Amino acid sequence: MAPKRWAPTVSLSWLTGPIFDKELRVSSRRRRNYVLRFVYVVFFLVFASLIWMEEMPSGAGSVYQVSRMGRAAQQIVVSVVWFQFIASQAVAIVMLSTAISDEIYNKTLGLLMTTPISGFQIVIGKLLSKLLQLALLLAITLPLLAITRVLGGVPWGYLVGGLCVTLSTALFCGALSLFFSIFTRKAYAAIITTAIMAAVWFGLVPGISIPALHNVISERAITDALCRVNPYCMLVADTIRLMTGQSISSVHWTAHCGVSLAGSALLLFWATVFVRKAALRQAVGWQPQVRGTWGWHRSGRDAERHPPLPMSIGTLEAATRRSLVRRVTGSPVFWKERRSPLLGRLGLGKIVIGIVLIALAVLAYVSCARQNMLNDSETQVAYVVVFFALGTLFAAVLPATCITSEKESRSWPILLTTPISDRAILWGKFLGAVRQCSIAWLPLFAHVGLFTVLGTIRPIGVVQLAVVAAWLTVFLCATGLYFTSRLARTTTAVIANVSLAAGLWALLPLFLAIVDEVFRIHGGFPSVYEDMNPFVQAIVITDATARRQLHDYNWMQDGMRRAGEATKWILLNGALYVVIGLGFLARARARLRRNPV
């Protein structure tokens, strides 16, 4: 019998664990993954064709067309790279928002720790399994972009660098979302917290540091420092180098990717530590503190070991009155939604994060005030867009979790067995979502109200922005309830509602703008549709009202320059979106009992 030959094998199972291995086996059997890849490739080809038609007019001569091929390739590659860069971060944040919280809430994390799977393998397996499909989509477009490179004008360094920066940034955002999912049970809380922290790190910190350090160190040194830690600065520098040949930074993309991967590794290390602590607490039967008659105390053995101190009769009666069960008033569904905190329980970490965010916001205002920028309409437009995006984020994410979270906790079938009607359930969920989303608009109206009092913004601008915020909230709450009633998973419902908002107000306007340039329409439906965009309306309103005197409203279409005409257009748009939202609510009510689990 011949002796067995030893063949060396290279395996990363010691790193990823069986969780990632299971995802590899299951994903290859899911039909929707193949459909998703096909749709993504078709979208890429359609988009590339439109860019080609825009850059290569049919009536031009062959010499001119040959000279424009390199420019067309640059436009296609830059547009696709930036789209993937932004979309991958959003998908990673949503996909990892329930990575650990589901295991903790379903009480399976402690069971996982009793297996040979280590805490590090749990964290890495969850991270890589959720980002697998995202990495495959990015890998699919690389050969297509390489084919586009044949036209000239695009070096290999930009393609590879853009892909690596995109992957490292998605990995960092996914690790950050996974880290926050350990401390919150609700998916939307992890999504919103991660999105805010990413926006602060990628946007607010550079916006403050550049004016503050402008007189201390050189502009080139500031740019180099930001390119090492900020992916947006790194990709902007590479794009400028590609399009104009000008180098604004000497930092190579490999240095930035190394810093980004180091930050991801640090987040994963702390996530492993906290996951292990959470699993050990769950394995030994630890229960959180509960509110009793004598205040906060631990249940179980701690309560037996440390009995409450005796109290006087008067103190006991007062404590008893405080601990009485609150009576349900009005709609029970709306009462329950009203009692739920927006971002979970208030802990020390959230207090610290809130203080840091407020301090950074104050620092940003002080920096703009020192440069006399707060009276400029451009500065007011920037602030309004940022706060408007914050409110839109809450309105797109929070309603899409109302029903799917109860399906995942298996409390939805119990609610359907109660005497509460479908209309009362849906109406209570809708009012609760609108109430919670309205809190996210407070920063916008605090800013607008302050500068209205100071005389920078006209009062009519506050009214018009309130109308836009109102119909946007109603529309996204209605669509979110439809998706959350139709789908079974919270992450899927959130992705669907966010994709709808991004498609209506980002991708479709971009598509229509390209079609407008290709076919030389210049007006008509593309301009009308762009004026129906809530962000365009917010920009136009702020630009017209953030002046000492009321200015004309500069819409994409002709006309409606006066405040009265603009208000009528805004109200008409609001009525249209509200009617469409009511249609989504009707469909949500019709499907309320079709997929109870």
Tokens of 55: 């850059």
Considering only residues 432 and 342, tell me which one the structure prediction assigns the higher pLDDT: 432
Q: Give 565-580 pLDDT, tens digit per residue.
A: 899 999 999 999 999 9
| Tokens linked to 140 | 């699919």
Answer with the residue of higher pLDDT: 327 or 199: 199
- List Cβ<8 Å contacts ≥24 apart for 130-134: 130/92, 130/95, 130/96, 130/99, 130/174, 131/92, 131/95, 131/96, 131/170, 131/171, 131/174, 132/20, 132/23, 132/24, 132/27, 133/27, 133/33, 133/36, 134/88, 134/91, 134/92, 134/95, 134/170
How confident is the model at residue 392, as a pLDDT?
93
Closest CA to 233 of 241, 224, 242, 243: 224
Q: What are phi and psi of 495, to 5 degrees?
A: -60, -40
Say if CB 420 and CB 332 are below 8 A apart: yes
pLDDT band for 311, please (50, 70, 90 cuts): very low
Using DSSP's 3-state secondary structure scheme, residue 295 falls into strand
Token pair listed for 386: 């940022």
Domain boundaries, given as residue ranges, for the chain: 15-283, 373-590
Q: pLDDT tier at 372 (50, 70, 90 boundaries)? A: confident
574, 467 Cβ separation under 8 angstroms: yes
382-431 per-position pLDDT tens digit: 899 999 999 999 999 999 988 888 888 788 888 888 888 888 899 999 99
* Dihedral pair phi/psi, residue 297, rounded to 5°: -150, 160
pLDDT for 41-75, tens place per residue?
A: 888 888 888 777 777 766 666 766 777 787 888 88
Q: What is the pLDDT of residues 514-550, one digit of tens each?
A: 777 777 766 678 888 888 999 999 999 998 888 767 7
Q: Which residue has the tokens 């999912």?
A: 181
Model-level pTM greater than 0.85?
Answer: no
